[in-house]
C-alpha cells in the first residue's frame, strides 16, 4: 500500500486497498479476504450518499411515516429517487425505507430530510395533531367497540 506523510500522520493514497469493515476473514487478513478499493464504483461511503450531511434537518424517529406530496422532483441521486418512489407507492416508515434500500437508518433519515426540503416528501412535523377527546374520534372509538360486542 502506498502511503504519503501529511504532517505527522500517515494517510493512504487514493486507490489504496481498504478492508471491508466486517468481523469475517477480511479483518483477519486470511487468504481470500474480501477487499475493496476506493475506485470501486459499486461502493459508496455514507457521506457520499448524504452529500456530506451528518444529521437530518427534520426530526424523525424510526416509526416516522414518510408520505410523498405528489410534487414533481428535479434530478435526484439514485437512493433519493428510490426513497421517493417507495413513498409514492404507499406511506412507509423510516426504518422500512432503510431496510428496503439496505442503508443505515441515519443515512435514510438524512436522505428523507433532503426530500422534505425539496417539498417532495411531507414534513411529519407539520401534520396537525389529533385531539383524542374530539367528538369525531370518540364516536369512531364507540363505533369500533360496538362492532366488537356484536361479533
What is the per-residue pLDDT across 56-105, written as a single tens digit (0 to 9) for each? Answer: 788 888 888 888 888 888 888 888 899 999 999 998 899 999 999 888 88
Q: Report pLDDT for 89.
A: 92
Q: What is the mean pLDDT of residues 98-116?
A: 90
Q: How far apart are CA 14 and CA 44, in angstroms?
A: 14
Q: Report pLDDT for 123.
A: 80
Confidence grade of residue 122 (pLDDT, cut at 50, 70, 90): confident
Q: Report pLDDT for 51.
A: 62
Q: Could you tell me the pTM of the whole model?
A: 0.54
8 pLDDT more than 50: no
Percent of the chain with pLDDT over 90: 15
50 pLDDT more than 80: no
Confidence grade of residue 37 (pLDDT, cut at 50, 70, 90): low
Q: Report pLDDT for 124.
A: 77
Question: 108 phi and psi, to 5 degrees?
Answer: -65, -40
CA distance readout (Å), 69 to 98, 116, 117, 120, 132: 20, 9, 12, 5, 26
Q: Enter the C-alpha cell of residue 82.
A: 428510490
Are 35 and 25 in contact by the 8 Å Cβ rule? The answer is no
10 pLDDT more than 50: no
Q: How far apart are CA 69 and CA 120, in angstroms?
A: 5
Are 125 and 58 in contact by the 8 Å Cβ rule? The answer is yes
Q: Report pLDDT for 14.
A: 45
Amino acid at each position: 500500500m502506498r502511503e504519503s506523510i501529511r504532517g505527522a500522520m500517515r494517510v493512504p493514497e487514493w486507490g489504496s486497498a481498504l478492508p471491508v469493515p466486517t468481523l469475517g476473514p477480511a479483518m483477519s487478513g486470511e487468504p481470500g479476504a474480501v477487499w475493496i478499493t476506493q475506485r470501486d464504483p459499486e461502493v459508496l461511503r455514507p457521506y457520499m450518499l448524504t452529500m456530506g450531511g451528518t444529521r437530518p434537518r427534520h426530526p424523525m424517529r424510526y416509526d416516522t411515516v414518510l408520505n410523498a406530496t405528489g410534487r414533481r422532483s428535479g434530478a435526484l441521486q439514485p437512493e433519493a429517487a428510490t426513497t421517493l418512489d417507495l413513498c409514492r407507492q404507499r406511506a412507509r416508515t423510516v426504518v422500512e425505507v432503510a431496510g428496503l434500500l439496505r442503508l443505515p437508518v441515519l443515512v435514510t433519515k438524512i436522505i428523507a430530510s433532503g426530500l422534505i426540503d425539496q417539498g417532495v416528501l411531507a414534513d411529519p412535523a407539520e401534520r396537525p395533531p389529533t385531539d383524542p377527546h374530539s367528538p369525531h374520534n370518540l364516536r369512531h372509538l364507540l363505533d369500533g367497540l360496538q362492532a366488537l360486542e356484536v361479533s
